[in-house]
Amino acid sequence: MRKGEIFKARDKSNHPHPIVFLERLSESKFSACILSTKNTEGNIPMSEEYFLDLDETESAYSIIFNNSHLVPYRLFEKEDLWLESNEPCGKLSKKGIEFIEKYTKNIDLEFHPVPIWVDI
């Protein structure tokens, strides 16, 4: 996983918004921020130039710009088990990563424990 890659949750009913991978925290945890299509609660509009349409093999990403907004000033600690797949569904451009970093620097992580569908 690399900074700027976009992923979906395994449990889309409880976690409908895609997330952007920011940094590996441990072998099984990472930090991420959330993308939304809603212009509510201070979400910040993004630009089409912040998203890549195609991956390295020229295949189309399923998550591209779509009235996209950043949920600002919130960083989440996620478990790898939270992800639907380790393959990204989208990716931010260099400008998109710079935009995200502007609103996620020096923010405390909010921990989200192991998803409820995982048997412990």
- Residue 120's pLDDT band, with cuts at 50, 70 and 90, is very low
72, 107 Cβ separation under 8 angstroms: no
pLDDT beyond 50 at 28: yes
For the chain, domain boundaries: 5-111
pLDDT of residue 12: 72
76, 31 Cβ separation under 8 angstroms: yes
* SS3 label, residue 94: helix
pLDDT of residue 81: 85
- CA–CA distance, 46 with 24 (Å, rounded to integer): 24
Compute the half-sphere exposure of residue 58: CA atoms within 13 Å on the CB side of its CA: 0
pTM, rounded to two decimals: 0.85
